[in-house]
């Protein structure tokens, strides 16, 4: 009996907070009618995009613990930062303050936005698609080496990689063709190639898709891909 009680206590302790994947986080948010979504990034980061309904409580402010303490302890708290570092500290403070239903987003806003999940505070492109399937297929078939960068203007890792992509496109003109597809506008092509995460890189050689890479890649990795 004592071992069983200890087990329940340990289980309850672990259930105080759980770090969950993007899909689980999204499902739990959808199912919860009392969710308190807390973004612990800086106001500048928050202004560049955030989860729907999120409230910004900057983890760097002097009264951070006091601000967290104003939340309702009877409602679940969903917390995230940019990539997971700051949210861990926030979770610990929430636990110390007595909150018992805490959910941390694994990978933070970077992972959430890269999976093309709903976000607020960003301007999505309303322009018409620039590429038809026929035009895209003709290019891929005509060029021996084509690198396709599927991106979005609001995607943080996409923006970080963009200068390198642009530089390589200019430097390797004549050796490789680099195409940028805006996920906001090129929805038919995105669906055709089953892209559900940003950035995604598609490499075509002699008309065939030979490689698919997901997530940020530095310059060295991009150059290696184009060899």
- Residues 4, 15: Cα–Cα separation, whole Å: 16
Residues constituting the chain = 227
Strand partners, 56: 39
Which stretches within 15-142 are classed as H helix?
Answer: 22-31, 43-47, 64-68, 85-96, 108-114, 133-142
CA angle 9, 10, 13 (to 5 degrees): 85
Q: What are phi and psi of 94, to 5 degrees?
A: -65, -40
Q: Which of 110, 148, 155, 201 is catalytic?
A: 155
The active-site residue out of 37, 40, 158, 164 is 158
Closest to 126 measured CA to CA, from 192, 182, 193: 182
Is 81 a catalytic site residue? Answer: no
Please state, in angstroms and as integers, the Cα–Cα distance from residue 176 to each residue in 78, 91, 153, 210, following that order: 44, 47, 23, 14
Q: Is residue 155 annotated as part of the catalytic site, yes or no?
A: yes
Catalytic site positions: 155, 158
């Amino acid at each position: 009996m004592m071992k069983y009680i200890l087990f329940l206590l340990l289980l309850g302790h672990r259930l105080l907070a759980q770090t969950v994947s993007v899909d689980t986080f999204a499902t739990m948010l959808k199912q919860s009618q009392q969710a308190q979504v807390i973004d612990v990034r800086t106001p500048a980061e928050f202004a560049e995009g955030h989860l729907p309904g999120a409230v910004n409580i900057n983890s760097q402010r002097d009264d951070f613990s006091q601000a967290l303490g104003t939340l309702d302890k009877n409602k679940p708290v969903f917390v995230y930062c940019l990539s997971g570092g700051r949210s861990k500290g926030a979770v610990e403070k929430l636990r110390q303050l007595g909150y018992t239903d805490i959910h941390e987003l694994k990978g933070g806003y970077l992972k959430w936005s890269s999976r093309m999940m709903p976000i607020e505070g960003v301007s999505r492109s309303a322009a018409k698609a620039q590429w038809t399937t026929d035009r895209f297929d003709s290019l891929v078939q005509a060029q021996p080496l084509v690198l396709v960068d599927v991106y979005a203007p609001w995607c943080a890792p996409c923006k970080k990689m963009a200068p390198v992509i642009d530089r390589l496109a200019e430097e390797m003109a004549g050796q490789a063709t680099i195409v940028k597809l805006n996920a906001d506008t090129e929805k038919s092509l995105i669906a055709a190639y089953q892209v559900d995460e940003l950035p995604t890189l598609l490499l075509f050689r002699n008309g065939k898709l030979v490689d698919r890479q997901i997530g940020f890649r530095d310059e060295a990795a991009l150059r290696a891909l184009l060899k």
